[in-house]
Amino acid sequence: MNERDHISPEDLSLYAMQALSESEAAVVRAHVETCSVCRDEVAQAAGDLALAALSAEQHPLPESARQRFVERVAADAKTAGRASDAPGVPPVQAKPIRRIYASVQWSLVGAMAVLAFAMLLKIGDLNREMKKLKADEAQQTAHAARAQQVLDVLTAATAQHVLLTAANAHPVPGGRAVYLASTGGLIFQANNLAAIPADKTYELWVIPADGKAPIPAGLFRPDAAGDASVVLPPLPSGVPAKAFGVTMEKATGSPTPTAPILLAGAAPSAGE
């Protein structure tokens, strides 16, 4: 390597002193790693730094600094299991005993560390399992409580039973007839009936099971809510009914039903 290949001594001194910029230091570092000549020069320059360090004015140590260091070392020796020498004991004689003792200590420390680590792992597993069980238990408890709530609502005597329908749906007219043929007793209740003109009326009909002509069973008009009822109209007794029907007739009624039949319902057999 000729001279041109080397870093200048000035830069090597600055490099040893960390007084180059990062980029400059990177160039020097790359060169020094492969150039023993410059590496040695850096070593010399660094040796010069030790001399420069001696120019620093000497100051006494802060109070108790020595004591703090001694205590720190003693604490470390105690923590790490390092044994201190007894005063007056020749180091050469003390070494084998201390080394054996230290070896045993370190072995014990190592074994305890392994055991502690294994126990930590086991504890971790148990903790995870316990957490899972607790989570399952909480989930089951929540499910049971919800089921009980459902049951309580359904069976409560004070519960309100409400049928909800579409808010803007047109109500469907309907009627329920309870008829006792043996006495001719009839109770009819209708709801959701459409309003009818003033000259019209609804008329209920009993359709005899023997095929004879329908029997008028009463006139009625719905109220504002569409509800209406016919209770015990004058009917012959002993006429079994096959069906019931409702038609719209003139206000005074009609002896025969006029189409269309607005409501109709087949009567089940007696007792059904």
- Give the interface with another protein as residue ranges (CB under 8 A): 3, 6, 8-23, 25-26, 29, 32, 36-62, 65-66, 68-70, 72-74, 76-77, 82-85, 87, 91, 94-95, 98-99, 102
Give CA separation, 227 vs 26, 176, 177, in Å. 101, 12, 14
CB of 127 to another protein, least distance (A): 35
- Is residue 205 classed exposed, middle or buried when 0-12, 13-18 and 19+ CB atoms within 10 A define those classes? buried
Q: Which is nearer to another protein, 18 or 158 (CB)?
A: 18
Please name which of 183, 233, 227, 180 lies closest in space to residue 204, comparing C-alpha atoms. 233
Residue pair 265/222 in contact by the 8 Å Cβ criterion: no
CB of 110 to another protein, least distance (A): 17
In whole angstroms, give the CA distance from residue 242 to residue 187: 16
Q: Which is nearer to another protein, 20 or 263 (CB)?
A: 20
Q: Which is nearer to another protein, 41 or 203 (CB)?
A: 41
Burial 22-48 (b: 16+ CB within 10 A, else e): eeebeebeebbeebeebeebbeebeee
Q: Which is nearer to another protein, 101 or 117 (CB)?
A: 101
In whole angstroms, give the CA distance from residue 15 to residue 24: 8
Q: Which is nearer to another protein, 26 or 120 (CB)?
A: 26
In whole angstroms, give the CA distance from residue 129 to residue 123: 10
CB of 7 to another protein, least distance (A): 9
CB of 58 to another protein, least distance (A): 5
CB of 137 to another protein, least distance (A): 50
Residue pair 6/38 in contact by the 8 Å Cβ criterion: yes
